[in-house]
Amino acid sequence: MSFEWLNDWLPFTFYYLMALLLFLVNLTSWASILFLIPGNWIMVFVSALFYLFMPEHDGTGLSQTVIVIAIVLAGLGEVVEALGSSAGAAKKGASRRAMILALVGTFLLSIVGATVGTPVFPPVGTVLGAIVGGSVGAYLGAYVGEIWKGNLEVDRMEIGRAAFVGRLLGVVGKLAIGVVILVMITIDSLI
Protein backbone atom coordinates (compact mmCIF):
# COMPACT_ATOMS: atom_id res chain seq x y z
CA MET A 1 0.00 0.00 0.00
CA SER A 2 1.47 3.34 -1.08
CA PHE A 3 1.16 6.48 1.00
CA GLU A 4 2.68 8.89 -1.52
CA TRP A 5 -0.50 10.94 -1.49
CA LEU A 6 0.38 11.91 2.09
CA ASN A 7 3.47 13.77 0.86
CA ASP A 8 1.24 16.07 -1.19
CA TRP A 9 -1.68 16.24 1.22
CA LEU A 10 0.13 17.00 4.52
CA PRO A 11 1.83 20.30 3.54
CA PHE A 12 -1.41 21.51 1.94
CA THR A 13 -3.44 20.63 5.02
CA PHE A 14 -0.89 22.04 7.43
CA TYR A 15 -0.74 25.36 5.59
CA TYR A 16 -4.52 25.82 5.58
CA LEU A 17 -4.76 24.72 9.20
CA MET A 18 -2.23 27.42 10.09
CA ALA A 19 -4.13 29.96 7.94
CA LEU A 20 -7.31 29.10 9.86
CA LEU A 21 -5.45 29.52 13.14
CA LEU A 22 -4.13 32.88 11.92
CA PHE A 23 -7.70 33.97 11.16
CA LEU A 24 -8.95 32.92 14.61
CA VAL A 25 -6.10 34.67 16.42
CA ASN A 26 -6.63 37.80 14.32
CA LEU A 27 -10.38 37.74 14.95
CA THR A 28 -9.76 37.52 18.70
CA SER A 29 -7.19 40.31 18.43
CA TRP A 30 -9.70 42.47 16.59
CA ALA A 31 -12.29 41.94 19.35
CA SER A 32 -9.69 42.89 21.96
CA ILE A 33 -9.74 46.47 20.62
CA LEU A 34 -12.88 46.99 22.69
CA PHE A 35 -10.81 46.47 25.84
CA LEU A 36 -8.13 49.00 24.92
CA ILE A 37 -5.78 46.22 23.86
CA PRO A 38 -3.89 47.10 20.67
CA GLY A 39 -5.62 44.40 18.63
CA ASN A 40 -4.64 45.82 15.26
CA TRP A 41 -0.96 45.67 16.22
CA ILE A 42 -1.37 42.12 17.50
CA MET A 43 -2.88 41.17 14.12
CA VAL A 44 0.11 42.75 12.36
CA PHE A 45 2.60 40.97 14.63
CA VAL A 46 0.98 37.54 14.34
CA SER A 47 0.62 37.95 10.58
CA ALA A 48 4.28 38.93 10.27
CA LEU A 49 5.21 35.75 12.15
CA PHE A 50 2.99 33.78 9.79
CA TYR A 51 4.75 35.44 6.83
CA LEU A 52 8.19 34.62 8.23
CA PHE A 53 7.58 31.03 9.30
CA MET A 54 4.96 29.65 6.93
CA PRO A 55 6.39 28.80 3.55
CA GLU A 56 4.31 29.53 0.49
CA HIS A 57 2.23 26.63 -0.68
CA ASP A 58 1.31 26.53 -4.37
CA GLY A 59 1.55 30.30 -4.69
CA THR A 60 -0.50 30.87 -1.53
CA GLY A 61 0.91 32.96 1.30
CA LEU A 62 1.01 36.41 2.82
CA SER A 63 2.86 39.05 0.85
CA GLN A 64 5.17 41.74 2.18
CA THR A 65 2.94 44.37 0.62
CA VAL A 66 -0.04 43.26 2.70
CA ILE A 67 2.06 43.30 5.88
CA VAL A 68 3.26 46.86 5.14
CA ILE A 69 -0.29 48.04 4.37
CA ALA A 70 -1.47 46.43 7.63
CA ILE A 71 1.24 48.30 9.56
CA VAL A 72 0.15 51.62 8.04
CA LEU A 73 -3.52 50.88 8.76
CA ALA A 74 -2.76 49.84 12.36
CA GLY A 75 -0.95 53.15 12.89
CA LEU A 76 -3.90 55.03 11.41
CA GLY A 77 -6.26 53.13 13.73
CA GLU A 78 -4.27 54.22 16.77
CA VAL A 79 -4.38 57.84 15.66
CA VAL A 80 -8.14 57.67 15.06
CA GLU A 81 -8.82 56.10 18.45
CA ALA A 82 -6.45 58.27 20.47
CA LEU A 83 -7.59 61.52 18.97
CA GLY A 84 -11.30 60.69 19.03
CA SER A 85 -12.18 62.01 22.48
CA SER A 86 -9.55 64.75 22.45
CA ALA A 87 -10.53 65.97 19.00
CA GLY A 88 -14.19 66.01 19.95
CA ALA A 89 -13.42 68.07 23.04
CA ALA A 90 -11.00 70.35 21.18
CA LYS A 91 -13.65 71.07 18.57
CA LYS A 92 -15.77 72.62 21.31
CA GLY A 93 -12.90 74.71 22.70
CA ALA A 94 -11.51 72.43 25.41
CA SER A 95 -8.24 73.18 27.13
CA ARG A 96 -5.19 70.95 26.72
CA ARG A 97 -5.70 69.75 30.28
CA ALA A 98 -9.27 68.68 29.47
CA MET A 99 -8.10 66.79 26.39
CA ILE A 100 -5.40 64.94 28.35
CA LEU A 101 -7.81 64.09 31.15
CA ALA A 102 -10.31 62.86 28.54
CA LEU A 103 -7.68 60.34 27.41
CA VAL A 104 -6.88 59.32 31.00
CA GLY A 105 -10.59 59.01 31.84
CA THR A 106 -11.13 56.90 28.75
CA PHE A 107 -8.42 54.47 29.79
CA LEU A 108 -9.42 54.17 33.44
CA LEU A 109 -13.17 53.94 33.05
CA SER A 110 -13.06 51.52 30.14
CA ILE A 111 -11.28 49.09 32.46
CA VAL A 112 -13.80 49.76 35.23
CA GLY A 113 -16.70 49.42 32.78
CA ALA A 114 -15.41 46.11 31.46
CA THR A 115 -14.89 44.82 35.00
CA VAL A 116 -18.36 45.83 36.12
CA GLY A 117 -20.02 44.63 32.90
CA THR A 118 -18.48 41.16 32.99
CA PRO A 119 -20.48 39.69 35.89
CA VAL A 120 -23.69 41.40 34.73
CA PHE A 121 -23.84 39.94 31.22
CA PRO A 122 -20.53 38.17 30.52
CA PRO A 123 -19.45 38.61 26.91
CA VAL A 124 -21.71 41.48 25.88
CA GLY A 125 -21.53 43.23 29.26
CA THR A 126 -17.76 43.27 29.10
CA VAL A 127 -17.72 44.84 25.65
CA LEU A 128 -20.47 47.35 26.36
CA GLY A 129 -18.91 48.17 29.72
CA ALA A 130 -15.59 48.94 28.06
CA ILE A 131 -17.16 51.11 25.36
CA VAL A 132 -19.58 52.98 27.61
CA GLY A 133 -17.06 53.23 30.44
CA GLY A 134 -14.43 54.66 28.11
CA SER A 135 -16.89 57.17 26.71
CA VAL A 136 -18.08 58.22 30.16
CA GLY A 137 -14.43 58.51 31.19
CA ALA A 138 -13.78 60.82 28.25
CA TYR A 139 -16.78 62.93 29.26
CA LEU A 140 -15.72 63.14 32.92
CA GLY A 141 -12.08 63.75 32.08
CA ALA A 142 -12.90 66.66 29.80
CA TYR A 143 -15.39 68.09 32.29
CA VAL A 144 -13.00 67.83 35.25
CA GLY A 145 -10.18 69.22 33.13
CA GLU A 146 -12.18 72.38 32.46
CA ILE A 147 -13.09 72.73 36.13
CA TRP A 148 -9.46 72.24 37.16
CA LYS A 149 -8.30 74.75 34.58
CA GLY A 150 -10.81 77.23 35.96
CA ASN A 151 -12.38 77.89 32.58
CA LEU A 152 -15.64 79.66 33.23
CA GLU A 153 -16.20 80.86 29.66
CA VAL A 154 -16.70 77.43 28.11
CA ASP A 155 -19.67 75.10 28.37
CA ARG A 156 -18.16 72.17 30.27
CA MET A 157 -21.08 69.85 29.57
CA GLU A 158 -20.84 70.55 25.83
CA ILE A 159 -17.11 69.80 25.89
CA GLY A 160 -17.76 66.59 27.86
CA ARG A 161 -20.46 65.52 25.39
CA ALA A 162 -18.10 66.17 22.49
CA ALA A 163 -15.41 64.03 24.18
CA PHE A 164 -17.99 61.27 24.78
CA VAL A 165 -19.12 61.20 21.14
CA GLY A 166 -15.53 61.52 19.90
CA ARG A 167 -14.52 58.49 21.96
CA LEU A 168 -17.37 56.41 20.52
CA LEU A 169 -16.44 57.46 16.99
CA GLY A 170 -12.76 56.76 17.68
CA VAL A 171 -13.49 53.18 18.77
CA VAL A 172 -15.81 52.61 15.81
CA GLY A 173 -13.15 53.99 13.46
CA LYS A 174 -10.44 51.77 14.90
CA LEU A 175 -12.73 48.73 14.72
CA ALA A 176 -13.52 49.52 11.08
CA ILE A 177 -9.82 49.77 10.26
CA GLY A 178 -9.29 46.49 12.13
CA VAL A 179 -11.91 44.79 9.97
CA VAL A 180 -10.05 45.95 6.86
CA ILE A 181 -6.80 44.53 8.24
CA LEU A 182 -8.49 41.25 9.22
CA VAL A 183 -10.17 40.74 5.84
CA MET A 184 -7.08 41.78 3.86
CA ILE A 185 -4.77 39.39 5.75
CA THR A 186 -7.26 36.53 5.65
CA ILE A 187 -7.82 36.83 1.90
CA ASP A 188 -4.09 37.18 1.17
CA SER A 189 -3.22 34.15 3.27
CA LEU A 190 -5.75 32.01 1.43
CA ILE A 191 -5.23 33.16 -2.16
Q: How far is it, in rounded angstroms, from Cα 41 to Cα 6?
A: 37
Q: How far is it, in rounded angstroms, from Cα 175 to Cα 107?
A: 17
Q: Where are the domains of the chain?
A: 4-190
DSSP 163: H
- Specify the pLDDT at position 177: 96
- Specify the pLDDT at position 121: 73
- Specify the pLDDT at position 70: 96
Nearest C-alpha neighbor of 167 from the set 82, 89, 84, 102: 84
Yes or no: say if 185 and 74 are a contact pair by the CB < 8 Å rule: no
- Specify the pLDDT at position 133: 86
Residue 156, phi then psi, degrees to nearest 5: -65, -40
Residue 14, phi then psi, degrees to nearest 5: -60, -45
Yes or no: say if 77 and 172 are a contact pair by the CB < 8 Å rule: no
Q: How far is CA 91 from the centre of its chain?
A: 24
Q: How far is it, in rounded angstroms, from Cα 13 to Cα 30?
A: 26
pLDDT by residue, tens only, the chain of 191 residues = 555 655 565 666 788 889 999 999 999 999 888 777 889 999 999 999 999 988 776 667 899 999 999 999 999 998 888 777 777 788 888 888 888 888 888 888 878 887 888 787 777 777 788 888 888 888 999 899 888 888 777 788 888 888 888 888 888 899 999 999 999 999 999 88
Q: How many residues does the chain have?
A: 191
- Specify the pLDDT at position 37: 80
